[in-house]
């Protein structure tokens, strides 16, 4: 196949076109702010977004802070897309763990003693 000028079409340069985690261009792009969604899209429901080859969950907590989290709850892997936005963060719909905009687990209501390991759980915040 040739271009409109009769030149051979070059193969895509994967060092420039691949942007997933661990790729050269992906690591470069992750060093800069990226637009993820419109601020107006972050209302009472979390929003699934895909950027740089990664699926993530965007939300705005009750205090107005924006968060971007790995889409799976760090407890049993339930999708945080179905979570409930609360004042302090996003609560998982399955067992109710609460994650703040930084991805810190703030509450584990179903765990013994209120969750002794609350501060040790991080769901891999995307920001």
Residue 120 DSSP SS3: helix
Residue 121 DSSP SS3: coil
For residue 114, what are its two tokens? 């209120």
Q: Which of 78, 88, 104, 106 binds ligand FES (CB under 6 A)?
A: 78
What are the angstrom distances between the C-alpha of 117 and each of 85, 91, 97, 109?
A: 22, 17, 12, 12
Q: In angstroms, what is the minimal distance from the CB of 60 to ligand FES?
A: 20
- CB closer to ligand FES out of 70 and 97: 97
Residues near 11 by Cβ (< 8 Å), separated by ≥ 6? none
Q: Which of 16, 76, 116, 124 binds ligand FES (CB under 6 A)?
A: 76
Interface residues for ligand FES in 16-75 (CB under 6 A)? 73, 75
Cα distance between residue 75 and residue 67, in whole Å = 19
x/- track of binding to ligand FES for residues 80-119 (CB under 6 A): ------------x-xxxx----------------------
Binding site for ligand FES (CB under 6 A): 73, 75-76, 78, 92, 94-97
């Amino acid at each position: 196949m040739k271009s409109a000028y009769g030149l051979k079409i070059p193969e895509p340069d994967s060092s420039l076109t691949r942007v997933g985690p661990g790729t050269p261009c992906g690591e470069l792009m992750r060093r800069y702010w990226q637009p993820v969604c419109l601020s107006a899209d972050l209302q009472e429901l979390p929003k699934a977004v895909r950027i740089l080859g990664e699926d993530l969950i965007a939300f705005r907590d009750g205090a107005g802070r924006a968060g971007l989290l790995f889409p799976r709850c760090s407890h049993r892997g339930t999708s945080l897309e179905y979570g409930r936005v609360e004042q302090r963060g996003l609560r998982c719909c399955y067992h109710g763990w609460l994650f703040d905009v930084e991805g810190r687990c703030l509450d584990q209501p179903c765990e013994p003693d209120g969750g002794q390991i609350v501060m040790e759980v991080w769901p891999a915040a995307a920001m």
